[in-house]
Structure 1
Amino acid sequence: MQRMDESGLRQFDLNLLTVFSALMRERSVTRAGEAVFLSQPATSKALGRLRAFFRDELLIRRGAVLEPTPRAEALMAQIGPLLQGMVGAIAGSVPFDPQTDERVFRIGMSEDVGMSIIPLLSHFRELAPHCGISIRAATYRTIPGMLESGEISTALGYVENMPAATKQRVLRRDGWFVLRDARTPGPVDLDAYCARPHMLVTPRGDLTGLADEALEKLGRKRRVVLGVPDYGLMPQTLLGTDLLCLVSGAVWDALVAIGWGDRLAADPAPFPCDEATIYIAWRMAVDQDPGETWLRAELVKWLSRRRGPSVG
């Protein structure tokens, strides 16, 4: 084996690399320090040492954020994959006991999936009483970047265009259901679906969705009269109205789990829809981490099961 020149390594504190990675990810001295459990002065001092060693400013303040220099970008391209590999190699040899471990799990998820894990959170507190869970709002647009930067280690939701250094698997495939106040007429067929007014969960504020595309293919259309920004507002808003709302099976499952099954009714979508496929994705750097492996197993076990919501 060729002898490696270690003279440069002896002159450099390798702990600075984790600080550098956090600074590149957070673009803030304060947030980077929090990520690596250092005070703001200690993080600033570490940045100063990095600048001196690499003879470059590395990160320059532009308003409220730190912007990397070309030298910093080039360093991160080289160092990032090495750090991920080191984390994976070390983590695999560190045992994990959920009853005593004190780590923080960082999970990104879409809001509809977030509804599904509400009952799971208290269960987590029993299984891992000293661990923290940080849940970040994420969509299919933001999940890839959040995983690539290390902002989250695991993601749940609808994903596409994932970074190369990630793994993923299908968590569940669901059909679509038309929700209504259980006291209103049903089941809802295609004519009733097109005749009644609709509510749409629309974080971006638009009033068209996949149902409109499906109906257009059939030469039909619906009338969306209300858009709400999140799923938390949806069930209460349906009560006492003749509104309809199209949701995935995962959302209906979650509503049943938190007690809405008696007040709302769900009818199968009266037109063809592509399945709603939920994925779990994670960074390859934590693929062999015992704690992250445990977390993924618990999420899969909880979210992949069906609770058999009544339809009618």
Structure 2
Amino acid sequence: MPSHTDQSGLRRVDLNLLPVFAALMRERSVTRAGEALFLSQPATSAALARLRDILKDELLVRNGRMLEPTARATSLMAELEPCLDSLARTLGGATPFDPATDHRTFRIGCTDDVAVALLPAFTTRLRQLAPHCNLVLRQADYRTIPRMLESAEIGTAVAYMEDDLPASAKQRVVRRGGFVVVRDTTTFGPVDLDAYCIRPHALVTPSGDLRGFADAALEAIGRSRRVVLGLPDYGLVRRAILGTDLLCTLPDFLGEALVASGGFAADVLPFNRSEAPQVEIRMAWRTTVDHDPGEEWLRMQIVEALAS
């Protein structure tokens, strides 16, 4: 007769405790583990207490501000982590995907500048390659993306992100770059330092502050500019700039998209570009769709769309 692994021991373990244990091992903090799993601190502490009781081991002990794993916890994590990853892939359901014939709805969370860069060329490409699929773009940023991924409101996120994603998410950098100056193609260019300081500027400023990194860089060399228009998001740049003499300093990937859409020219920053912050766009996705052929295909399209 075929041998079977004795699974009777699983009956005494609440399997919902295992992701909590994994998060505690990664974060080494009850508070951060709870935040990663969207659990309260008391609930996370209670889960750790139950695990200690079930496994008859302290598992994690306080060492200053951090939790240090016991030998039993380290050994258990080494065995458990690949099992959890495998289970996530299995439950994620790697359904075959043919973009030419399949019907899927893809949900992407992104910041407004990424949305402007992706539209409309990205959606046109998707409609050509996957004519029966739907695309839903959700407004998201580094503050809301962890929750939206954890709750499966979105399958993929593309934005500036912090290193605070839930343990159930993966990520990669899809674009690094700097900033450019965009203007209406009918106006004088390329823009040199004098023109940059003389011409009026529009600034994307959700907070309403009419000062950006460029102002500090200019002050360092004894120059200044005048920002006459503050915009709440990048979606308004086209309407604000075309037909005017306004300049707008924005991420290079967005500048490329505006130039490609027509009517815009993009010039290099006319001051020390090392003074400008680096732009790093990351893509994150839920582990449960890591090996889903449809989601893999979608991520590949995003990478190609944002590539230089």
Indicate the residue corresponding to 2:126 in structure 1.
124
CA contact (8 A) 2:88 2:287 kept: no
CA contact (8 A) 1:113 1:251 kept: yes
Separation of aligned partners in 2, 1:222 and 1:297: 40
Structure 2 CA distance for partners of 1:191 and 1:130, relative to 1, 3 Å:
same
Indicate the residue corresponding to 2:304 in structure 1.
301
Match of residue 161, structure 1, among 160, 163, 182: 163
CA contact (8 A) 1:180 1:243 kept: yes
Indicate the residue corresponding to 2:113 in structure 1.
112
Separation of aligned partners in 2, 1:157 and 1:147: 13
CA offset at residue 171 of structure 1?
Answer: 1.3
Indicate the residue corresponding to 1:138 in structure 2.
140
- Letter of the 2:156 partner, please give it: T
CA offset at residue 127 of structure 1?
Answer: 2.2
CA RMSD in angstroms, aligned pairs only:
3.3
Match of residue 223, structure 1, among 223, 226, 235: 226
1:34-72 C-alpha deviation (Å, 9 max, x unpaired): xxxxxxxxxxxxxxxxxxxxxxxxxxxxxxxxx99x779
Of residues 201-210 and 212-221 in structure 1, the stretch that sits farther from structure 2 once superposed is 212-221
- Letter of the 1:242 partner, please give it: D
Indicate the residue corresponding to 1:152 in structure 2.
154
CA contact (8 A) 1:92 1:290 kept: no
Structure 2 CA distance for partners of 1:137 and 1:114, relative to 1, 3 Å:
same
Query: Which segments of 5 or more consecutive residues in structure 1 lack a partner in the other structure?
Result: 10-16, 18-66, 307-312
1:257-297 C-alpha deviation (Å, 9 max, x unpaired): 3223xxx3221011222332222221222211111111111
- Letter of the 2:296 partner, please give it: T
1:94-140 C-alpha deviation (Å, 9 max, x unpaired): 32222343332111111111112221112212322332221111223
Indicate the residue corresponding to 1:201 in structure 2.
204
Indicate the residue corresponding to 2:71 in structure 1.
none
Map 1:13-52; keep pairs closer than 5 Å. none
Aligned to 2:127, what secondary structure does the other structure show? helix
CA offset at residue 8 of structure 1?
Answer: 9.1
Percent identity between the two aligned chains = 51
CA contact (8 A) 1:108 1:155 kept: yes
1:137-156 C-alpha deviation (Å, 9 max, x unpaired): 12233323322332222111
Aligned to 1:242, what secondary structure does the other structure show? coil
Indicate the residue corresponding to 2:188 in structure 1.
185
CA contact (8 A) 1:168 1:280 kept: yes
- Letter of the 2:105 partner, please give it: V
TM-score by length of 2: 0.68
CA contact (8 A) 2:110 2:158 kept: yes
Aligned to 2:149, what secondary structure does the other structure show? helix
Indicate the residue corresponding to 1:56 in structure 2.
none
Separation of aligned partners in 2, 1:180 and 1:227: 16
CA offset at residue 85 of structure 1?
Answer: 6.0
Separation of aligned partners in 2, 1:73 and 1:99: 49
- Letter of the 1:250 partner, please give it: F
- Letter of the 1:151 partner, please give it: E
Separation of aligned partners in 1, 2:220 and 2:46: 49
Q: Does 1:242 align with 2:223?
A: no
Aligned to 2:305, what secondary structure does the other structure show? helix
Of residues 141-150 and 267-276 in structure 1, the stretch that sits farther from structure 2 once superposed is 141-150
Map 1:248-259; keep pairs closer than 5 Å. 248-259=251-262
Aligned to 1:198, what secondary structure does the other structure show? strand
CA contact (8 A) 2:256 2:266 kept: no
Query: Which segments of 5 or more consecutive residues in structure 2 lack a partner in the other structure?
Result: 17-38, 51-80
Structure 2 CA distance for partners of 1:134 and 1:84, relative to 1, 3 Å:
farther
Separation of aligned partners in 2, 1:190 and 1:136: 38
Indicate the residue corresponding to 1:44 in structure 2.
none
CA contact (8 A) 1:112 1:250 kept: no
Aligned to 1:233, what secondary structure does the other structure show? helix
Indicate the residue corresponding to 1:173 in structure 2.
176
Number of residue pairs the alignment of both structures matches: 244
Indicate the residue corresponding to 2:270 in structure 1.
270
